[in-house]
Amino acid sequence: MAANKMFDVAGKHCIVTGGAQGLSRGMAEGLLENGCKVVLMDVQKEKLEKVCEEYRAKGYEAWPVSGDLSDRKDLNRMFDDAMKILDGRLDVLIPAAGIQRRHLPEEFPENEWDLVININLNHVWFMIQRALKVMLKQETRGKIITIGSMVTWFGGTTVPAYTATKGAVSQLTKSVAVDCAGRNININAICPGYMDTEMTANMTQARKDECTLRIPQGRWGTPDDLKGIVLFLSSAASDYINGTTIPVDGAYLCK
Ligand SMILES: NC(=O)c1ccc[n+]([C@@H]2O[C@H](COP(=O)([O-])OP(=O)(O)OC[C@H]3O[C@@H](n4cnc5c(N)ncnc54)[C@H](O)[C@@H]3O)[C@@H](O)[C@H]2O)c1
Q: Which residues line ligand 1 (CB under 6 A)?
A: 18, 20-24, 42-44, 68-70, 96-99, 119, 147, 149, 192, 194-195, 197-200
- Candidate of 170, 199, 245, 252 to mutate for ligand 1, largest count of ligand atoms within 8 Å of Cβ: 199
Q: Is residue 20 part of a domain?
A: yes
Find how far residue 219's CA is from the centre of its chain: 22
Query: Within a domain: residue 224?
Result: yes
List the catalytic residue out of 162, 194, 240, 252.
162
- What is the pLDDT, as a whole number, of residue 186? 98
**Each residue's pLDDT tens digit, 125-159:** 999 999 999 999 999 999 999 999 999 999 989 99
CA distance 131 to 58: 28
- 81 assigned to some structural domain: yes
Q: What is the average pLDDT value for the chain, to the nearest integer?
A: 97
Give 4's contacts (C-beta < 8 A, 6+ positions apart).
Answer: none
CATH code of 16's domain: 3.40.50.720
Nearest CA to ligand 1 atom 29: 43
Q: How far is it between the farthest Cα atoms of the chain?
A: 56
The residue range of the domain holding 233 is: 3-249
Whether 88 is in a domain gets the answer: yes
255 lies in some domain: no
Active site residue 60: no
For residues 191 and 146, give the distance between their C-alpha atoms in angstroms, rounded to a whole number.
9
Pair 35, 59: CB distance under 8 Å: no
Whole-number Å distance between alpha carbons of 157 and 63: 37
Kindly state whether residue 204 falls inside one of the protein's structural domains.
yes
Burial environment of residue 38 by CB neighbours within 10 A (0 to 12, 13 to 18, 19 or more): buried
- The CB density around residue 200, as the number of other CB atoms within 10 Å, is 15
Task: Please write the tens of the pLDDT for every residue from 198-244.
Answer: 999 988 899 899 999 999 999 999 999 999 999 999 999 999 999 99
